[in-house]
Amino acid sequence: MKDILKGIDPRILGQELQKARNQRGLTQSEAAKIINVARTTLTAIEKGDRQIKASELIQLAQAYGRKVSDFVRPRPQISAIQPQFRGPYRPTEEEEGAIQASVIKLDALSRNYFELEQMTNTPLNYKYPSEYKIGHLPVEQAAEGIASEERNRLGLGDGPLPTLRDILEQDVGLRIFYLPLQPSKFSAIYIYNHEIGGCIAVNSQHPEERRRWSLAHDYAHFLVHRYKPRMFIEDSYQRVPEDERFADYFALHFLMPTSSLTRRFNQILQNKEKVTPADLCTLAYYYGVSVAALTRRLEEMKLLPTGIWDKLKARGFKVREAQAQLNLGPLPAQDEKLPRRYQYLAIHAFDQELITEGRLARFLDVDRLEARRIAEKLHQHGSDVTDDSQIRLDLTQQIEV
């Protein structure tokens, strides 16, 4: 062990120990007590100024719920990534701890993904466009133009995008994870690193339509604000800044292109005089967005009068109840925690005896029993190749256009 430690850069090992400690939720003082040293000594270890002893590493690894091999094995090194808070929102101490845990989780999973690629000699095929420039264009005009360009670049036409996650993972090369972000107002985290590229964590606890919106929103930041890490917080602004307005407009146009939505809306009016709430629910389901986003988009396009959504809410329109009446179940979800490619790489590494079953379980972030189940499932697959009001509203009632 002593010889192994001599061959490891103490700064890199210190960074790994610090990340593991933070992920475990321990302070420096608490960790220092585990190995019977002063807090300043632990600080020196994490900075790489003091070589850790073998006995200390064993104790800390056990306390952090990790194996010693996690710290001493060769691993790709990625520069530190840290999302920035925007707007007036300031998290409480408890929220800050939960947020930091999510950031550390995204960091760890992204590095695991990169490590699996190096281990299996299967690099990710990045298909990134050059970073777009808005210049002096009005925000909405720029957002619509870039959304249209991206759809053309990716060959998407102007229809709905039911496989949005697959498109961004496979046709762009983003690393997308679905994690239970806390507190629930956090919709997504976006980070970029020159070694691993763009990474997005979407809040898995949100409904699918909201997750799709968050994904499109953060894709906008990747396209225009690529090197600025983001943490998207619902309703966190007194006045929404221009870059967030751009991301929202982009999501609107990317998920609901003007040409397609106008065509579908006009088809509805060819068969009836007025649009009904049922039509709005069906149209929102078709595009994979919330009824609120769809209605506001139609208002913005002047296809519905301004304020229709507010009027529906005031009259007790309950979205989930309406969808149930129309037999519109939950949107088909692509909500696995890990990208499917990540899972296949982990299984491939295990099949090639590059990793043990224990490491497979850690890569998949599950216990060994679940890791076996996932492996069996993927092997078989490979061989087979928001409104809460209780008032009931008549969904056939016409909406004044």
pLDDT tens across the length of the chain (401 residues): 566 777 788 888 888 888 888 878 889 999 999 999 999 999 999 998 988 888 888 999 999 887 787 787 766 655 555 554 444 456 677 777 777 788 888 888 999 999 999 999 999 999 999 999 998 999 999 999 999 999 999 999 999 999 999 999 999 999 999 999 887 888 899 988 888 999 999 999 999 999 999 999 999 999 999 988 777 666 555 567 788 899 999 999 999 999 999 999 999 999 888 899 999 999 999 999 999 999 999 999 999 999 999 999 999 999 999 999 999 988 988 899 999 999 999 999 999 999 999 999 999 999 999 999 999 999 887 655 434 444 445 555 566 65
State the CB neighbour count (10 A cutoff) for residue 246: 24
Sign of CA dihedral 99, 200, 349, 9: negative
Matching residue, tokens 């619902």: 234
The answer to whether 105 touches 200, Cβ cutoff 8 Å, is no
Q: How far apart are CA 284 and CA 109, in angstroms?
A: 33
Per DSSP, 338 falls in state: S
Q: Which domains does the chain have, with CATH numbers?
A: 1-74 (1.10.260.40), 118-255 (1.10.10.2910)
pTM score of the predicted model: 0.81
Q: How far apart are CA 83 and CA 90, in angstroms?
A: 14
Q: How far apart are CA 98 and CA 105, in angstroms?
A: 11
